[in-house]
Amino acid sequence: MSIVCVAAEKDRSSPVRLSKFYLEEVGSYTNYKMSTLVFVLTVSFMTIACYAAPRGQCKANRDNSVSYSGFQVWTITPHSKTKQINLMKIIQHYNLEIWKETNEIHEPVNVMVPPRYQKEIRLKLEEVKIPYDVEISDLQKAISTENPKTNDSAVNSKTAHQMDWTSYHRLDDIYGYLSYLADRYPCRVQLLNVGSSYEGRPLYVVHITNSTSPDTPAIWIDGGFHAREWISPALATYIIQQLVEEPSNAELLVNVNWYIMPVVNPDGYEYTHLKNRLWRKTRSPTGSASAKCQGVDLNRNFDFKWGGPGSSSNPCSQVYKGPSAFSEPETLAYSNFITSKSNEIKLYLTLHSSGQLIMLPWGYERNTFPSDYDEMLTLAKNAACKFRKFTYKVGNKVDLLYRASGNSADWAKSIGIKYVYSVELPINGFILPASNILPVSQDFFRAMDVFAAEVSTLNAS
């Protein structure tokens, strides 16, 4: 199978893009000129579609969790710039949530559509001749079958931990597995409690090493910034398992240390398992009485270009930046720990979903790049060429996705970490059946030897 490595070059022009966030056109459509069209990110638009929909659209399941019964996910493909604009008008008018980005013509965009508007939107798309397919016909049914219950006999056969990579696990299972590894491999694994979440859950970092040298460089990996992106903690724990328990990967521990934080947002992660599968933010109060206005987007809460484009001051927004940089206990603990290891950490990977992207700083503004962007790009392209099942695009975050001020990757680069990447994992959307965990994880793990080989040439200093 041939692998196509696609990179976004520094001099590429900013294309018209459909963002997850509300896009406001500067200028009128009647005077529209494609060469000078500018879109500006605003953020009041983005709320969980359940809450954004008119009253009565979302119901409760028997366990009082949010039900997405009747909601659909459509794949819509605009084949011209004019059709991109028409699609954007429809998305704005109906306050739809985009699950997968597109920034090029002929690339599909995935949109979640409430049942109330499906007939109207179907007619509007047909009117402007934009093709679409229904990818998920009933979102609640997809959620219900996404994570099959673990076989009781299989669970009972495990005396030390409950982890596997054939299902998505609750936080207790993940943390239990980390504790098991620290007890089973005390010379190789340290379980570090670096702080507590708003609701009091521990924030764990796993330190994996075979070295006693203080000059050993390190790789940082994290997952679970956004609660609903379940594939992210699953991949992070898979990487931990492979590094610790798979003898054939011992070479990856030669001259390289690893710090892995599988769940940055444990409160939100648990909430997605118990109450609202599509919850994104933390669970900290914001002063609003509305349930939808609770929590902060941790990936807009970092103290580098905090509060700029792609973030919001509105607590009801999905990209609410918080009252101040590092206002959240999760980002404060996270940043304090990484800062204490910043001389040691040479490569930083933060895992998100979805879109199959490996993105480089800067993400706070267009056409803005670190001085060593080309070095970062080369390493990322080499890593992407290791994949066999999935093809990832590689390039600048704003070129590939959107502006996001106050994000963790920009902050990591700002404190001097050499190689910094934000990854959007496969496939398109947040409801990824558990049967995809191993294919995604096994494929992505192939890149670890590329990253480790480069980091091993650098000394901690």
Contact 21, 43 (CB under 8 A): yes
**76-80, 117-121, 286-290: which has the minimum mean pLDDT?**
286-290
Residue type at position 265: N
| Mean of the per-residue pLDDT values of the chain | 87
Name the residue with higher pLDDT: 293 or 419: 419
pLDDT digits (tens, 9 = 90+) for 133-180: 999 999 999 999 999 876 655 555 566 889 999 999 999 999 999 999
Q: Which residues pair with 195 in a beta bridge?
A: 203
Of the listed 97, 146, 344, 424, which one is catalytic?
424
**34-38, 212-216, 271-275, 451-455: which has the minimum mean pLDDT?**
34-38
Most confident of 91-95, 358-362, 364-368, 402-406: 358-362
Provide the CATH topology of domain 6-146: Alpha-Beta Plaits (3.30.70)
For 162-455, CATH gives 3.40.630.10
pLDDT band for position 85 (50/70/90)? very high
Rounded Cα distance between 255 and 458, Å, is 9
The torsion defined by the Cα of 84, 90, 91 and 95, in degrees rounded to 10, comes to 160
Beta strands in 285-342 (DSSP E): none
Rounded Cα distance between 65 and 286, Å, is 21
Contact 134, 429 (CB under 8 A): no
Six token digits for residue 292? 């939808």
Q: Which residues pair with 396 in a beta bridge?
A: 360
In the chain, list all ranges with CATH 3.40.630.10.
Answer: 162-455
Instruction: Tell me the mean pLDDT in the region 3-27.
Output: 40
Rounded Cα distance between 323 and 361, Å, is 24
The yes-or-no answer on residue 424 being catalytic is: yes
In the chain, list all ranges with CATH 3.30.70.340.
Answer: 6-146
